[in-house]
Chains A and B, each alone.
Chain A
Amino acid sequence: MFGDYSLGDLGSIFVMQGFAGLILFSVYVLMALGLAIIFGQMGVINMAHGEFMILGAYVTWMTSNFFQAYLPSLFSGYFFLAMILAFVASGALGMLVEWVLIRHLYKRPLDTLLATWGLSLMLQQAYRSVFGAREVGVELPQWMLGSLHVTDSIEVPINGVFVMCLTVLITIGVAYVMYKSRWGRQVRAVVQNRIMAGAVGINTEKVDRYTFGLGCGIAGVAGSAFTMIGSTGPTSGQLYIVDTFLVVVFGGAASLIGTIASAFSISQTQSTLEFFMSGSMAKVLTLLAVVGILMLRPQGLFALKVRK
């Protein structure tokens, strides 16, 4: 298929394609991080993850409308505030949900599947009632649109660069919180043995609530960032949920490094295959590969060694 193209053309396409893979990688990491905390660390199968993301997207939309109406001069910077608000809103809703629903289910992790699935349906209908069934268009400041012109044939999408930077920052933040801070140590202690953690004086209820809130908050930020590349509607969250679980499960549920490694391998496979065949076929082959590897290594790519 490359016979007709010049070397220069091919070179720049490979650069662009590599970049497409990196963007897909960042998108996967960003959407999976929140779930890696909730599912990986806490063992809650959160089917409503996508809806927490979309809450973030709606918050971004509202912020954008607010700035357009009242503070048009500051519009170019609204996105940063919107991401913070998205974090707060999704995080707060997450903590509420944990208090009302999830904390009663820690001993029955499989039931969280059903409970959060129900929650996702309720949230979807709530969005539909509040914001209407139609998709909303989030307006972005001018500097976030378009692409950086590198050469005539290499153009780097600005929103892709933005998502990549955001992903790196949030990943570093989460890694620090989970592995370096005192609070992260408490989280890991609670996850490994809730009763013993309580016995040594950790307030397990509080740790659970904040951890769940953090996971949902990160989902909110991801949703906010995805307004740049995807749609914002009541059911848009459903578009992400399968890929998100795929990344987390494939990486080995309890490992942050695993999530990153799995996002990297899935995204690179996917985007390389997409280039050589049709998108649907690429997806099928990627999923087949994932299933094959999980059959050989059921615990995922990286697994923590824990005493059972």
Chain B
Amino acid sequence: MSDEANKGLLLPLRRKLLMGMAALPAITMLPRASFAQAPATSAVNTTGLAVTDTEVTVGILHSATGTMAISETGSIEAEKLAIEQINAMGGVLGRKIKFIQEDGASDWPTFAEKAKKLLVNDKVAAIMGCWTSASRKAVLPVMEQYNGMLYYPTFYEGLEQSKNVIYTGQEATQQILAGLNWIAKEKGAKSFFFIGSDYIWPRTSNKIARKHVENVLKGKVVGEEYYPLGNTQFNSVINKIKLTKPDVIFTDVVGGSNVAFYKQLKAAGIDLSKQALLTISVTEDEIDGIGGENIAGAYACMKYFQSLDNPNNKTFVPAFKKMWGEKTVIGDVTQAAYLGPWLWKLTVEKAGSFDVDKIAAASPGVEFKGAPEGYVRIHENHHLWSKTRVGRAKLDGQFELIYETADLVEPDPFPKGYQ
């Protein structure tokens, strides 16, 4: 169809050129010509996905209700922004992105059910979604059975790799190791106190961190403590910290516990400008609840901070605030969620097709130069090459960038020697 259209345009064009009236009509024809170049649906969609001549449908699957809504709201907002921006630039392969949003409701079986609905009933071309590892683990078999494509935004514990998932957040070694190296070098830190919430991500992360501290940095872990999710009383562990006097407190406490932990740390007289604290679980989003005055001085190890000074981020932050309000803050995961739709668009264009198999195969090597974090590239293992950064929390709830790795850090979801 498009071939005929092109010929139809070209023939009169050539005649007019021959007649010596080249410039004006040719310019007016150009936009129409380029629109007609959008490839035929039958060519870019051989597996019956929800792709028409003008639209392509993707799914957004996060918790808009329930406990996790606190964290996942930012991801939903980022994905919607990315989709809107892509549409404003002409969409993907000449097609506008339409999204169907489903609510996982902070309940893992619901996530699996909704993922199945998106893939089987709505035939979406890709899903941007999930946040906790538990929800991803619930959705993974569905993605593999019905051959879907998931863009997963959260930094997580690693030990996973799938043809059907692109992990746009950091796996554990990418997030932790460079940060530990930095603090060991910068602060001369030798003794570490680990404190985390009691579930898979903190436990795996701390295991990796402990191996690194003991084997590579030749330091000592003087305490490793876990508290149940939602715990609000940390006075005992704070006393233990005071007793053991570690050089660094390394934390991966999550959710509401975070707020309690930092408030009580401050109340107990631990001054974060003197006591080094490195967290891998606090982003700008969490500081909103913790309060800048309670956490100022702490170091966070992430790949993105809202305050990053680069041209991409300087257009991203105002665009985000324009869409979602001046007071919204953008944390690490929110930025990673923003990468999802873009990486998918770039991969589709590289593959020249919406087919999931072709996208999975084309993903390695796809690079996104417009990423707010700078530049990212998809690795063979479907994780991202990205930089590790350390920021210092300020009173106003933002981070000041203190350190970033010189090069992109290679993702290594199955780290040897750390298991």
Query: Which of A's residues lie within 8 Å of B, judged by CB?
Result: 5, 9, 13, 16-17, 19-20, 23-24, 27, 125, 128, 132-139, 145-147, 149, 153, 155, 157-160, 226, 228-236, 238-240, 270-271, 274-275, 278-280, 282-283
Contacts and interface: CB of A to CB of B under 8 A. Distances in A.
Interface string B277-299: 00000000111111111000000
Contacts of A232: 259, 289
A29 to B, nearest CB: 14
Given A16-B242, A24-B233, A136 B289 contact: yes
A274 B268 CA distance: 17
B141 interface: no
B267 A147 contact: yes
A153 B269 CA distance: 10
Given A23-B235, A279-B228, A229 B243 contact: no
B225 A17 contact: no
B121 to A, nearest CB: 26
A27 B286 CA distance: 24
B230 interface: yes
Contact of B69 (A133, A137, A231): A133
Contacts of A280: 198, 226-228
Majority secondary structure of chain B interface residues (helix, strand, loop or mixed): helix
Nearest to B238: A20
Contacts of B260: 229-231
Contacts of B238: 20
Contacts of A271: 233, 235-236
Interface string B237-257: 111101100000000000111
B258 A20 contact: no
Contacts of B290: 137
Contacts of A125: 65
Interface centre among B236, B240, B242, B264 (most CB of A within 10 A): B236
A137 B288 contact: yes
B157 to A, nearest CB: 18
B269 A157 contact: yes
Nearest to B292: A137
Contacts of A139: 291, 293
B14 interface: no
Interface of B: 64-67, 69-70, 73-74, 198, 224-228, 230-233, 235-240, 242-243, 255-260, 263-264, 266-269, 285-293
Interface centre among A23, A158, A159, A279 (most CB of B within 10 A): A279
Given A146-B266, A159-B267, A280-B226, A135 B288 contact: yes
Contacts of A24: 233, 235
A166 to B, nearest CB: 15
Nearest to B236: A274
20 contacts: A13-B242, A19-B235, A20-B236, A20-B239, A23-B235, A125-B65, A145-B267, A146-B269, A147-B267, A229-B267, A230-B263, A231-B255, A231-B258, A232-B289, A239-B256, A271-B235, A275-B239, A279-B225, A280-B198, A283-B228
Contact of A274 (B237, B257, B263, B264): B237
A231 B259 contact: yes
Given A231-B259, A233-B289, A275-B239, A133 B269 contact: no
Contacts of B235: 19-20, 23-24, 157, 160, 271
A159 B242 CA distance: 19
Contacts of A231: 232, 255-260, 289
Nearest to A284: B228
B231 A279 contact: yes
A160 to B, nearest CB: 7
A164 to B, nearest CB: 13
Contacts of B263: 159, 228-230
B69 A234 contact: yes
Given A125-B65, A137-B290, A158 B70 contact: no
Interface centre among B64, B226, B235 (most CB of A within 10 A): B235
A145 B293 contact: yes
A239 B232 CA distance: 8
Contacts of B289: 134-137, 231-233
A229 B290 CA distance: 10
A-B pairs, 6 with minimum CB distance: A135-B289, A20-B235, A231-B259, A157-B267, A155-B269, A274-B236
Given A23-B235, A231-B256, A134 B226 contact: no
B264 to A, nearest CB: 6
Contacts of B239: 13, 16-17, 20, 275
A133 B73 contact: yes
Contacts of B230: 238-239
A173 B18 CA distance: 100
